[in-house]
Structure 1
Amino acid sequence: MIELKPLSDDDPALEFSPLLRAAQRTLEYACDYGSIGLTTRKNFKRDFVHWSVEAFEWPGFGPQQAFQFRKVLNEYEFVPLQVIHFLLLHTRLGRHYKGEFRLTAKGRGLAESPGDLFSCIVPFFLFEVDHASYGRFGRRPVGTWDIWLNVLNVEVEDGATERDLFQQFYGDGPNWDNDGWREIVAFSQCVTRPLAWAGLVTLQEIDGGGVSSRMCFKTPLWRSALILDTDDQVRPAVRH
């Protein structure tokens, strides 16, 4: 079982985690206002959804993208908030009470401790959440986090495309131009995207000869938070 190293509250690497930033700002909001309103279906109300789109500063999903084709936004239309809501409930940092989301004592305590908050929610998010459940096709790639992280530790040191990473695990065959492209999407949604949301990697769009692709790079948080069996096999990244 992979374990993440404890991080101090002032570790600058924590700034790379969109998930941590979103969770912390949700906790701070609930602290400041006492609670967050819920709909009858126990989703966050639209006023908070709209606030979160701007406050989270989520990569690739800011106000311009969110409201380009709509005037209002529901929780289920902003998946990162849906995930944060789920995480805060299941890690017992918040609870539903009389039509409101309220923090527990544990949640109030972690609101001002980003290192401990990261240690609470990110391992649960990576290793316990079924990432296929909020993916496009509901498919799960074969593998474990122990295998994925140890291989990625070596392969991503200088950056690698998601397609190249997929081939490292599953061989040639599927690509963006044949029916197997869904398998690459499943790998992205269940492996590289969760790592990017956690802040351990970044995904950068590139132009692959007319075919959209993404490069995967480690962030400083990878090195701060992970101890892996393949650490001694990692060659220093080439910097120009």
Structure 2
Amino acid sequence: MINFSQPSDDHPDLSYSPLLRAALLTLTHADDQGPIGLTKTKAFKRTFVQWAAMHFNWPGYSYEELMRYHKVLNEYDHPPLELLHFLLIQLKLGRHYKGEFKLTKRGRDLAHSPGALFQELIPFYILKIDHAAYGRFENALCGNWDVWLNVINLEVENGASEHKLYSTFYDDGADWHTSEWRNIAAFSHSVLKPLEWSGLIVGQPVEEKGRTEHIYFKTPLWRSALQLETDISLTPAQRH
């Protein structure tokens, strides 16, 4: 059983979630500045995409990094914004109406309640989205969030790499330099990235055998927002 605790609106650990921060910025922008314009394909218009890139401060997707590869920014050039747009519509916090993205009453209320928005957004994103399909991976991973979260709760207490976490669940002989690399990548995208984008874990890049590996650690938000069965088995993390 996975239980998410709802933090208070002023809880400092909420600041660790890039997805929550982006959602709050988008909702308050639409509340304060009015509806957000849409293209004919119902994506956010470039003016808002550029604004989002400048204000989201999303790790790996800063305005400078995005503009390094694009002269102009469309929604699909900013994957976190594209995902957020989808989530806000699915959760009925916003709707498309006459070429604009408009807030619903629920969306307007949650724009000013970070704790309640976290409770609405993050469990839905982690537990309800088919991450493999969204990432265009052909096969879904064998496993479920109850197992993944409870095991990761133990494994990441002192830090663990993508390879180590994948091997814990699946193939102990897997390696980035074998045919298993696609499966490791699918695991990283479908399990680790949702946790990182939600702000529950954070990855630190290290060089490993000629490639960049990531070592994952829990953020304080993990401890304040998640209640898991394996909590009773935790050995406190070693701090140096």
- Under a length normalisation based on structure 1, what TM-score does the superposition of the two structures give? 0.97
State how 1:1-240 maps to structure 2 within 5 Å: 1-135=1-135, 137-240=137-240
**Counterpart residue type for residue 53 of structure 1:** A
Q: Provide, for residues 137-189 of structure 1, a one-character-per-residue CA deviation record: whole Å limited to 9, x for no partner.
A: 34422100000000001110000101001111013232111111000000000
Contact 1:140 1:187 survives alignment (8 Å): no
Question: Secondary structure of 1:212's partner?
Answer: strand
**C-alpha deviation, 1:43, in angstroms:** 0.5
Measured in 2, the distance between the counterparts of 1:67 and 1:25 equals 20
Measured in 2, the distance between the counterparts of 1:136 and 1:109 equals 34
Q: Provide, for residues 211-239 of structure 1, a one-character-per-residue CA deviation record: whole Å limited to 9, x for no partner.
A: 22100000000000111000011101011
Show structure 2 runs of 5+ residues with no match: none
Moved more, 127-136 or 190-199: 127-136
Show structure 1 runs of 5+ residues with no match: none
Measured in 2, the distance between the counterparts of 1:77 and 1:164 equals 31
Query: Alpha carbon RMSD of aligned pairs, Å?
Result: 1.0
**Counterpart residue type for residue 118 of structure 2:** F
List, as ranges, runs of 4+ consecutive aligned residues in structure 1 with deviation greater than 2 Å. Answer: 136-140
Contact 2:132 2:141 survives alignment (8 Å): no
Measured in 1, the distance between the counterparts of 2:209 and 2:177 equals 12
Report how many aligned residue pairs link the two structures. 240
Measured in 1, the distance between the counterparts of 2:77 and 2:137 equals 16
Contact 1:205 1:212 survives alignment (8 Å): yes
Question: Secondary structure of 2:69's partner?
Answer: coil
Contact 1:132 1:140 survives alignment (8 Å): yes
Question: Secondary structure of 2:96's partner?
Answer: strand
- Under a length normalisation based on structure 2, what TM-score does the superposition of the two structures give? 0.97
